Amino acid sequence: MRSTLFLLPFLPAALASRPFLNEPDTGIEDVLGDTPAGTLPDLERIVGLPDFEWAARRYMNASSYTYYRNGAAGEWSYRNNLEAYGRFRFKPRMLVDVTNIESTLPTTILGHNFSAPFYISPCARGGLAHPEAEKNFVKAAYEEDILYIPSLYASLSVDEIAAAKPSNGSQTIFQQVYLTENDTETKQLFEKVEKLGSKAIVFTVDSAADGNRHRAARYGVGSADSSYTYITWDYYKKLQNMTSLPVVLKGIQSVEDVKLAVAHGAPAVILSNHGGRQLDGTPSPLEIALEIHEEAPELFEQIEIYADGGVRYGADVLKLLALGVRAVGLGRPFMFANTYGVEGVRHAIQLLKHEIAIDAGNLGVGDLKKLDASYVKWTNNGWYS
């Protein structure tokens, strides 16, 4: 009995270590739990990004939902992506004028102006959630003035996605790519996306082999890129010579590789572990950004660094920005929001903009450009370890 009592003080921390697999319990089940399966609750009742997954899981068929939701192996990296943000506490400042915080949300990404420091990350098969598929991302991103990066394995072709943009050419889109060893095909692809108006190429480098996705295998919805792929720094230099567009590296997971990206003239990198879908045990983007901050903070000045993975709240965005990340990508939340069509994607963007602004205000940040690492206690307090 005595040994059991000794352990009691530690139980809350242990139980809190993995409090949820999907979305947290914020009362949505109590209020919307009677929504019939296969239908969606009214959009105005969706109050945060996690609500979209709750709704999508009840609305989509199991295999389509699983394709968006799955992670590698035991899904520890998937869960860690979500939980990493909760391990670090803010250090709010009071008596600060925050009344103009919304006006400071705009940022630039590779010199292009956007209304907020986040973007829609590349995700495949948007058509699993809505018949208009990626058209909804194009339209909502344009209307809300944020960046959208289509996946090469989108439900729609690069031509169809380009055709969904406004005809005045005012929308900026980057194009994500997976590549084969066929240089002729690669050059043709680069020429095509440049002709269609893409302003940058985002080369995914964290998918050199098939992802070990147990959940996906049960439903037959594995990775769209399942072959071993030849990816080296020499190959990256070759790619840079095939196009006049900047080639961004997506999937960097260590400070060493960020240094190599700088050495090889990369214009930007995206810190990402592929949403925890490729290799279990990989670090979250927040942990990678923290490693850079601690070991080589000058890198944030030498190259544009973005991050994606596990972001669900405005507070998550702020923690990444505080370390020096320029812009933050979100994938799954927008895929689930797409069950509502363009209105759902637009609502998700608006919710996140609002959360970033009010969370920054409560943090005592009057200008998002002045947010820095001093606003967060970068020590793991063990609550969610």
Query: Strand 175-177 and strand 147-148: pairing?
Result: unpaired
Check if the beta carbon of residue 231 is closer than 8 Å to that of residue 251: no
Q: Could you tell me which residues are annotated as the binding site for FMN?
A: 122-124, 151, 176, 204, 250, 272, 308-312, 331-332
Q: At what angle do helices 342-363 and 314-323 cross, to 10 degrees?
A: 60
- How many residues are listed for the chain in this entry? 385
If you ran DSSP here, which 8-state letter would residue 283 be given? Answer: P
Look at 15 and 19; give whichever has higher pLDDT.
19
Q: Give per-residue pLDDT as tens, 329-354.
A: 999 999 999 999 999 999 999 999 99
User: Domain extents for the chain?
Assistant: 108-360
Active-site residue (options: 130, 214, 274, 293) = 274
Q: Give per-residue pLDDT as tens, 197-248.
A: 999 999 999 987 777 888 888 888 876 665 778 889 999 999 999 999 999 9
Strand order in the sheet with 247-252: 147-148, 118-120, 327-330, 304-308, 268-271, 247-252, 201-204, 175-177
| 67-95: average pLDDT | 94
Report how far Cα 285 is from the mean position of its chain's Cα atoms.
9
pLDDT tier at 14, thresholds 50, 70, 90: very low
Q: Could you tell me which residues are annotated as the binding site?
A: 67, 122-124, 151, 176, 178, 204, 213, 250, 272, 274, 277, 308-312, 331-332
Confirm whether 274 is a catalytic residue: yes
pLDDT of residue 350: 98
| 73-79: average pLDDT | 91
Structural class in CATH, domain 108-360:
alpha beta
* % of the chain residues with pLDDT over 90: 81
pLDDT tier at 385, thresholds 50, 70, 90: very low
pLDDT mean across residues, the chain: 92
CA separation for the pair 368, 370 (Å, rounded): 5
Compute CA distances 296 → 84, 252, 272, 292, whole Å.
21, 15, 18, 5
pLDDT tier at 381, thresholds 50, 70, 90: low
CA separation for the pair 207, 278 (Å, rounded): 7
Q: Is the pLDDT of residue 262 over 60?
A: yes
Under DSSP, is residue 157 helix (H, G, I), strand (E, B) or coil?
Answer: coil
Q: Give per-residue pLDDT as tens, 122-176.
A: 999 999 999 999 999 999 999 999 999 999 999 999 999 999 999 998 999 999 9
The closest of 300, 306, 204, 320 to 251, measured between CA atoms, is 204
Query: Which tokens in the block code for residue 145?
Result: 């003035």
Q: Give per-residue pLDDT as tens, 117-137.
A: 999 999 999 999 999 999 999
Q: Could you tell me which residues are annotated as the binding site for glyoxylate?
A: 67, 178, 213, 274, 277
Q: Is the pLDDT of residue 2 over 70?
A: no
pLDDT of residue 226: 59
Check if the beta carbon of residue 83 is closer than 8 Å to that of residue 380: no
CA separation for the pair 359, 96 (Å, rounded): 13
pLDDT of residue 220: 85
CA separation for the pair 137, 156 (Å, rounded): 12
